[in-house]
Amino acid sequence: MTDPGDFDAAWLPDAAFRAVGARRSLVRGGPDLLADTVHRELADACARFGGEAVRGADAGGAGLVLDLTGDNPADEGFTLGRADGVTTVTASGGRGLLYGLFHVVRLGEDAFAGDLPPRTHRPALATRMLDHWDNVAVHPVTGQVERGYAGGSLFWADGEARGDLDRVRAYGRLLAACGINAVAVNNVNVHATEARLLTDRLGDVAAIADVLRPYGIRTHLSVGFATPMLLGGLPTADPLDPAVRAWWAAATARVYEAIGDFGGFVVKADSEGRPGPFAYGRSHADGANMLAAALEPHGGTVHWRAFVYDHRQDWRDRSTDRARAAYDHFTPLDGRFADNVVLQVKHGPMDFQVREPVSPLIGAMPDTRLAVELQVTQEYTGQQRHVCWLGPMWSEVLRFRPAGGTSAGRLADGLVAVSNAGDDRFWTGHPLAQANLYAFGRLAWDPEADPRAVLDEWIALTHPGAPARLAEGLHAILDGSWATYEKYTAPLGVGFMVQPGHHYGPSVDGYEYSPWGTYHFADRDGVGVDRSVATGTGFAGQYAEPWAKLYESPDTCPDELLLFFHHVPYGHVLHSGTTVIQHIYDTHFEGVAEAEEARRVWAGLADLVEPERHARVAERFEEQLRSAREWRDQINSYFLRKSGVPDARGRTVH
């Protein structure tokens, strides 16, 4: 078992295993790679806390029995019960046994108290995947990790694979402990060096797969659509060309020779300048199905991203709406994708803003497999310099019912997220941003889970045995942090008021006259984008009822999304009873005050937190406050000048 050494163990410190490590444990069944992992975890815990771990013997005297009853690697479920002083985990597959062990670890002593009637636990979503936007070679613009805020890559450094994979092994352990079962190890923007991971650098990918496999994690690759031209010397990448199809089939077969349980490909095509099937007059279904045909004999899957839009838009043209793009491109293709294609859809119609409606594409393609894509890395939510726990946002998305029936989380085939982990000692740069990574895994397992209960799980696992004052303080800091961030940044569904390029800090008009299609249309009369059917871009009409009717009118549109769907006067009265302009002033002052209070609470926990961890968070709070004040002053000043309406409370607006 890997010792985390000089990097932080996140939510699996040694003390989290005290309850299982102090008892006699028995692992039965196998041989099985993951059952062996379970036994090693128990043996290490018992060595620390005085228990005993036995493999394949009689259960006499055991307080914990983990029983592998079959050989079904696809079955990730497990049954937990306790009777006659013995806690039993039963699973028909090794992954289920591993997840059962980590469930017992989460329960701690509660897993060994009284009787527990047998209860079966099974993930709601089959695929729970992290996409790493990691580059093998350092990119001149995006660096080693695109949108990475936690140091360098776990897998790559300066053009080479990392030789020591102990940290990758520890990462796989953390992911398994929260239910994640798949990882794509390179950037969706596939550059020349990264393209070679499919061919002559495949051995590096196989080495990563070897250390992730014992934790039930399948390895995936992002691939470029034009790779047959780049690496195969072909004159075309036309998905209907027989030579192109043959090249992909042969390349894919070689991948499976090296990595027998390889998961498949992630593809970004015809998006933000990346090559795709449009160049040949073909559809996205044509492109995805060509790759699906290459993967199908081996059991692999194509994750085809639906992030396709015009990024060369004329800002003068108010009829073109980036929010419409995914729906317009893909709904005509419903039913035309192969069975092993999963359309990967961003949870909102724009780009991971702090507040967006749920994408209307979710629920609009009943004959196509869909995965919902989240962004754990905090590109637009503070870049892991600000505390912004996103569990409540993701829960809202996953509980959303596109047609008033089944929730988005239950409609999806999988949940995918852009990872926020790097080689920083604390994994995520900001130690408290670990809570986002953990919450993603747990909500992918159960989209209906209470996010606040998940937060308390993370707190208890990360600080086992901590006094109530620490748990309560951490909960208070994190639980409202998304709302706080929204208050001092983007009001009422307006997004992209950020510095262009790196996207950190305020720039109200930073993208207002750009080709990226990200506008707020603030003028002297009002603010917001008219996306109604009656007078605007028609985006509201992409939703099924009851949402289309709700979003169509400013009188019924929820306050938090008003400016996403409507251009309204500054004096428009919200359902809250305040005007738009006063809401902007009030929330920006409130957001700064709440950030100041969170900093105060953290400072009061110094005696309960390891000094280096406390110092790192304290330093991040100073930057968060500086940035929050800048957001407040720039936003309030901008809208004071636009509207001419002073703050009714008489506060200083610079």
Query: Got the DSSP string for 161-220?
Result: E-S--HHHHHHHHHHHHTT--EEE-S-SS--HHHHGGGTTTHHHHHHHHHHHGGGT-EEE
Catalytic annotation on 610? no
Paired tokens of 434: 């670990």
Query: Got the DSSP string for 219-231?
Result: EEEE--TTHHHHT
Where do we find the tokens 């980036």? 322
Q: Cβ distance 517 to 496 under 8 Å?
A: no
Q: Which residues, 6+ apart, have CB-to-CB distance to 160 below 8 Å?
A: 136
Catalytic choice (3, 115, 160, 272): 272
Residue of 97, 87, 118, 121 lying closest to 19 (CA atoms): 87
Residue of 179, 169, 31 lying closest to 105 (CA atoms): 179
Catalytic choice (146, 270, 351, 424): 351
Please, is 641 exposed, middle or buried when counting C-beta atoms within 10 Å of its C-beta (0-12, 13-18, 19+)? exposed
Task: Give the three-state DSSP class for 155.
Answer: coil
Strands 341-346 and 301-305: parallel
Where do we find the tokens 């990595």? 259
Catalytic annotation on 379? yes
Q: Which amino acid is at 31?
A: P
Q: Cβ distance 11 to 42 under 8 Å?
A: no
Give the chain's length.
654
Residue of 375, 321, 299 lying closest to 344 (CA atoms): 375
Start-to-end C-alpha separation, the chain: 57
Catalytic choice (379, 423, 486, 552): 379
Strands 127-131 and 414-418: parallel
Backbone phi, psi, residue 43, to 5°: -60, -40
**Residue 54 to residues 83, 272, 399: CA-CA distances in angstroms?**
20, 54, 42
What is the C-alpha separation between 329 and 337, in angstroms, rounded?
13
Q: Which residues, 6+ apart, have CB-to-CB distance to 605 below 8 Å?
A: 469, 470, 473, 474, 614
CB atoms within 10 A of CB 314: 11
Backbone phi, psi, residue 153, to 5°: -75, 145
Catalytic annotation on 272? yes
Q: Cβ distance 262 to 294 under 8 Å?
A: no
Residue of 520, 512, 486, 524 lying closest to 645 (CA atoms): 524
Q: Which sequence positions are flagged as catalytic? A: 272, 351, 379
